[in-house]
Every structure is written in C-alpha cells, then in structure tokens.
Structure 1
Amino acid sequence: MYSLLSQATQPTTSQGDNVEDLFLTGAEAEARLQPGIPLDGPIVTNGQQQFQCNIQKGQPIEQLFRRMGNLDRTVSVQNPSFSLEGASSVKMRLGDVQDILLSDRISEDPINALELRSPLPRSILPRFLNGEDCQLLGRVRDAVLDGDSGERCAVSIAEWNRWKDVEDWALLA
C-alpha cells in the first residue's frame, strides 16, 4: 500500500485536455451536466447536499441508525480479511454494525455494509444532479417496466419496489 500511495499525486484540476477532477460551484456543476456536454472527470462541490444532519442530535452516523429503527434486523457485511475461497459476506445485526462504526478505535478488520436500505428521504441528490442527463437509472426502469407505453406505469407493487430499492440505498464502510 505504501508503494502505491507514495506514487499518488494531486489530481489535475486546471482546464485543458488532462483535467482529472473538477472543483465547481453548484451552478457550474449544473452547467457542466447539461445534455450533450461530455464530462471529463469527477465533480467536487461544496454545500450542495439537500439533506442536512442536525449536529445537535449527534453524529451523522447516529442519526442514520436512529432513522433505521429496529437495529435487531440483519444486513450483509463484507470484510477484506475474509478468505477469497469462502463466502464474501456475513449477516450482522444493524446494532452491531452501529457499535463498530461509532467506536473510537481504528479497526484492523474494517467492514463494509454494501446494500443497506436507506432511511433517508427520497430525492436527496444534490441540486445539480437533477438534470435530464442525470436520470439514466429512472429511464432504464421506465423502459423495462413500461416497454412501448407512454402511460403511467402499471406494474405490480413487488416489481416497482424492486426498482425503488435499487435507486435508494446506502453504503457504510
């Protein structure tokens, strides 16, 4: 890891052919994501998140788990120390995941909860990600569920919820 990190450099952020990272205001990011304009690298903005944690109510991770409710439910958790020969994940109680993430110690055995149901309100994307070129997943969903119909979607609740869960999830690491 040290060998890899010792070769790392800051991304190129100036305009030109070799831009690796774009540091933009919300308005600049929205302008860059207009239809037909290619994106040259990741966009980094400040102050664009619509959902704001309340610092008086504790750490953001505490607020996230409080919104989840029943912490006796389980979630699949991956761990880099697992053998490549065996299962890639184990089931853990949400309460145990919370305890690990809130502990003040540095873990030598980190965990990743990759497919956690998000307890946050829908549509919490930054404002600049609401343009028409940022709706690929919704367009794919509509094409799969509606086919050739331009009418409102009329599929089973189970089928609709399968797509809803793909759009709204959380990653904890």
Structure 2
Amino acid sequence: MNIDGVNTLACLCRIPRDAKHETKIYPLPHTYVVKDIVPDLTQFYKQYKSIKPYLQHTDPAPEGKEYLQSKEDRKKLDGLYECILCACCSTSCPSYWWNSEEYLGPAILLQSYRWLADSRDQKKEERKAALDNSMSLYRCHTILNCSRTCPKGLNPGLAIAEIKKEMAF
C-alpha cells in the first residue's frame, strides 16, 4: 500500500504516534482497486507467470538428486531470491504506470534476472529471447524509484542493468 506517499508494506511501516501528524493510506498507485485499499494484481502475477519462474532443464536430474551449485554461484543469487513480489517497486515506476500491459516492470525483471543468474538453469538463451523486444525490458529509464521503495532493500535497477548487459552479448 501507499503510506504517506511511499509504497511500502503496512507490516513494516511505522505510523507516528504524534496525533498532530495525519497519516494518509492509499492502495498501490496505478492499480485497479478490488475493494477499499486492496489492489488488483492480476496483471502483475500474469507477467510473473510469463517469465517461467522455475528452473528449466533440457536433461532430467538424476533420480533422487538435486541440481547442485557451488557456493560462489549461490552467492550470485543474493539480493534476487529475497523478493516477495509485493509490487511496491513496480507500482512506483513511471514506465510501468504507462506501459503496464507490456513492460514487465522492476519486480518481474528482478525475478527474470534471478533465473538468468542461476547456474543450474539451462534455458538462458530462451529466457533472453523472451525479453528481447522494445517493451518487456527496454522501457526502464533508470529513474530508480524501484530501488528506493523496495521494503526488502533490494535493487531492481541493478538487476535490470545486468540483464541489459547480458543482452548485449
């Protein structure tokens, strides 16, 4: 929700005890409202589903075995897997406000990079191909509202920049 002009999680936001301060609470901006302050995040989760947010493999795992990765490869996922898909970053992004049907937005692009950075995933080229159009990725204008508003302190702007670097090669 939006509390005093900042997209955040109500459970983490401190409300001042000062009776003189009037706290303003609104639903997430630029979303349809289901009821009261409950936003309709159907489009957001549809976009999340579109990136196939799971490990993809061409060859099956050995029976009863996990796909292992080194500690170094696992460390590359720090700051990516912690995203809780609250949509605070996406709904604070002007590019997402005006292009939410096609532009994936910061949260979904952070998740896209999470799977691109995962050493266990074998469909990196397919994932990059799905992002290679003028709307899915390249609507980010590095305003970085997303990084300022993330209640988990994550940096979607950096993840988007990393995807753009990977797309260049």
Report the TM-score range of the alignment, normalised by the length of the smaller protein: under 0.3
- TM-score w.r.t. structure 2 length? 0.24
- TM-score w.r.t. structure 1 length? 0.23
Determine which structure has more spread, i.e. the larger CA radius of gyration.
1
Q: Write 1 or 2 for the structure with the bigger share of strand.
A: 1
